[in-house]
Each structure stands twice: as C-alpha cells, then as structure tokens.
Amino acid sequence: MSDSSSKQVAVVTGASSGIGAVYADRLAARGYDLILVARRADRHEALSARLTEAYGAGVETITADLTRDTDLAAVEKVLASDPRVSLLVNNAGVATLKPFAQTTAQEAATQVALNITALTRLTQAVLPAFLAKNSGAIINVASVLSIYTLPVSSVYSGTKGYVLNFSRGLQQELAETGVKVQLVLPAATATEIWDLGGVPLASLDQATVMNAENLVDAALAGFDKGDELTWPSVADEGLVENYEVARVALFAASQNGRPAPRYTAG
Ligand SMILES: NC(=O)c1ccc[n+]([C@@H]2O[C@H](COP(=O)([O-])OP(=O)(O)OC[C@H]3O[C@@H](n4cnc5c(N)ncnc54)[C@H](OP(=O)(O)O)[C@@H]3O)[C@@H](O)[C@H]2O)c1
C-alpha cells in the first residue's frame, strides 16, 4: 500500500475469514485502503489480491497473533503511526463454547486476550490521533451474548459483556467529540467460529443463522445511520428501547444508600 495514496485507511482485525472478510470487502468497495490483521497469511494474500483487483484498494496485510504481546505491540505501532487511519473495526474474536469447568486455562486466557485485551489496546492505539483530528470511527463487534449467557459461554459472554460496557463508556466519554464508536451485536452468523469453538454450525437451527454478508451490510447500514448500538437481527426496536429503559431504571433505583427492605431484619 502506497503512503502517498490520499485514501482513508480502514483497519480490520480478523479479516482472514467470516465477518471480518466481508467488512474488508465492503469497506474496500466504499473506497477505503485497508490494513488487515490476522494470523493466516495465505488467506490474507488471496483476499488482498481480490480487493485490489475488484476495487483498486491498497491493502496492507499484517500477519499477527493478537494474543501475543509482541505481535500486538507491532500492530499498535503501525496503527498509531499511520495518519490515514480513520476507521478501526475491532472484529477478531474467538469463542470456546464449553462448560468453564472443562475449559483449560489457555482457552480462557486466549478469549480474554483477543476479545478484550487486543480490542482495548488497538482502540488506545488509534484514539490519540482520532482525538487530535476530531474525527474517526471505531466499530466494535460484540455479540448478543454480551447480554445473555449459556451454560457453555461464561468466558465468551464475559468477554463480550466487556466489549459492550467498554464501548458504552467510550461513547459517553467521546460524546462531545467527532469520534464515533459503534457497537455491533450479531446473533448466530454462518462463519468458522462455531466449528472452531466446539459447536458445529450444522447443529444450529438454520432459521436462526444469518449469513455474514447480510450481517455486515446491516451493521454498516446502522453505522451510516449513526447508530451507537446496532442489533442487526432484531426487528422490534421497541425491545431495544425497553431494555434501555429497564437498564437505566435499575441503575437509578440502586442509588439510595440503604439496603432494600427484603435484606433488612424484621
Ligand atoms: N459468527 C457468529 O455467530 C458471531 C456472533 C456474534 C459475534 N461474533 C463475533 O464476530 C467476530 C468475527 O467472528 P467470525 O464469526 O467472523 O469468526 P471467524 O470466521 O472464526 O473469524 C475470526 C477471525 O479472527 C481471527 N483471529 C482469531 N484468532 C486470532 C488471533 N489470535 N490473532 C489474530 N486474529 C485472530 C481469525 O483469523 P486467523 O485465524 O487467520 O488469525 C479470523 O479472521 C468475533 O468477534 C465474534 O466473536 C460472531
């Protein structure tokens, strides 16, 4: 990718498959140059060649394991030093779907390192420049499991709950700036994450599964509308509103400095 290009640059983590590969395609189609980050160089090469051919996009690929500190530091450095970066899609994620009691320490640590630590540090890498120019956007890919748990999702849901709260706090912090943060909450989407995570995609009720193209197109439609939270598969916006109202009311009800009567003797 030539530094002399005047195009803006979008960074997509986890672009070697699934949702991230579709983000890369759609953002190249929108005229961005790209920095793609994942471990599988062969996938990167094929995608990069296709996007350059189809859209004339300049594509830089970084082969990095974002759970490794040295790799993450190298990616941070690239992001922090390229003034053309105007969009970060924190998409790379991993799910190990099994009971916590059967989850190894390494499996838990990997989910935390990728889904939480890498997302946080890459956000920190781009934010100073975004604030300095008072523009830029961060898209954080969370999950409907940010607000819901399954007996096999304690760590994964925990990491995605972090992404939800981290993004919300950041949205509040940046509200008076030109920097935007969109939180995307996909439900089941047809990607490799399921088979890799121990729950075969084929075992899901296929009526509940969206394809990655529809997911990303809906998420980007939400981005274009200025959504802070995008629930791509939720048709009834009233449910989202009710959830917000209940969340805020519950917090407000906690602000009274005394135990609830059900917890006091007599
Ligand atoms: N699919 C769903 O049902 C669903 C639902 C809700 C949310 N999400 C979220 O959507 C995001 C994308 O997932 P997906 O469904 O598209 O899954 P996917 O097809 O498995 O893609 C995951 C991507 O993350 C990359 N990745 C994994 N480990 C990595 C590491 N250590 N370092 C760098 N990159 C790494 C993978 O590339 P390499 O293997 O080449 O490194 C791949 O490009 C994730 O955050 C996931 O939690 C997915």
pLDDT digits (tens, 9 = 90+) for 21-72: 999 999 999 999 999 999 999 999 999 999 999 999 999 999 999 999 999 9
Give 132 Cα–ligand 1 centroid separation in angstroms.
30
Give 196 Cα–ligand 1 centroid separation in angstroms.
10
Give tens-digit pLDDT for 107-164. 999 999 999 999 999 999 999 999 999 999 999 999 999 999 999 999 999 999 999 9
Q: Of these residues, 23, 156, 162, 243, which one is catalytic?
A: 156
Max Cα-Cα span within the chain: 75
Q: Which residue has its alpha carbon closest to ligand 1 atom 2?
A: 189
- Judge whether 156 counts as a catalytic residue: yes
Spatial separation of the C-alpha atoms in residues 240 and 256, rounded to whole Å: 27
Fold assignment, 9-257: Rossmann fold (3.40.50)
pTM of the model: 0.97
Pocket of ligand 1 (CB under 6 A): 14-20, 38-40, 43, 65-67, 91-95, 114, 141, 143, 186, 188-189, 191-193, 196
Mean pLDDT of 166-192: 98
Mean pLDDT of 221-249: 97
Mean pLDDT of the chain: 97
Residue 2 clears pLDDT 60, i.e. is over it: no
Contact 103, 111 (CB under 8 A): no
Give 24 Cα–ligand 1 centroid separation in angstroms.
13
pLDDT given for residue 13 in this prediction: 98
The beta-strand segments (E) located in 91-239 are 136-141, 179-184, 229-230
Confidence of residue 235 (pLDDT cuts 50, 70, 90): very high
